[in-house]
Amino acid sequence: MKRILVLISGNGSNLQAILDACQEGRVAGEVVAVVSNKGEAYGLTRARAAGCATEVLEAAGFADRAEYDAALGDLVEGYRPDLIVMAGFMRILSPAFIARFHGRMLNIHPSLLPKFQGLHTHRRAIEAGESEHGASVHFVTEELDGGPVVLQARVPIFEGDTEAEVAARVQVQEHAIYPLVVSWFCMGRLVMMQDKALMDGEPLGPAGYADE
């Protein structure tokens, strides 16, 4: 069983999807700890309800990002994780932190990467007149939202859609694809080598598994 540590900042709905998948035996791993940079994050309540260890490490009191990330890295390392899952962790991690856990970090981003890196993706997709949108699970590298994509899910954008409607549609897909990718990693099917995602030993295309 692989040891999974999840980083959160808020509600933790993707965390819940992963917790459920572990409990149901769909992931050959267990969430050993959930770490948040915000003490009020509801995801901590979800973690405690599932019997997971929880930690809060807020940025206040640290001189800079490097100091915070060094402390966060020490905290994470103490749980000996095989995989670190970012599930709505709203901090940009330093290159030193990412290098420390290279190849062991996954993130989910609410867009069809490389489109709409950064924030406010749903609004930007609507304003750009896109007919489809989605979510991407990717390995974390030093480039923000730029690591190799593992799996994407697509949803339509209909005329007159609000940002909230698109966000809800995307989130349903996030809850499906994130646990699946975590399961692939825990099974040993998914790895990152030389900044490329490999599935069953074969490099994945720009849109990840099942790339058209």
Angle of the 13-23 helix axis to the 42-49 helix axis, nearest 10: 10
Which of the following is catalytic: 102, 109, 120, 133?
109
Is 109 noted as a catalytic residue in this protein? yes
Contact at 8 Å (CB) between 117 and 111?
yes
Number of neighbours of residue 187 by Cβ within 10 angstroms: 13
Angle of the 13-23 helix axis to the 163-187 helix axis, nearest 10: 40
How far is the C-alpha of 208 from the C-alpha of 147, rounded, in Å? 11
How far is the C-alpha of 16 from the C-alpha of 104, rounded, in Å? 20
Contact at 8 Å (CB) between 40 and 9?
no
How far is the C-alpha of 31 from the C-alpha of 88, rounded, in Å? 16
Q: Which of the residues are catalytic? A: 109
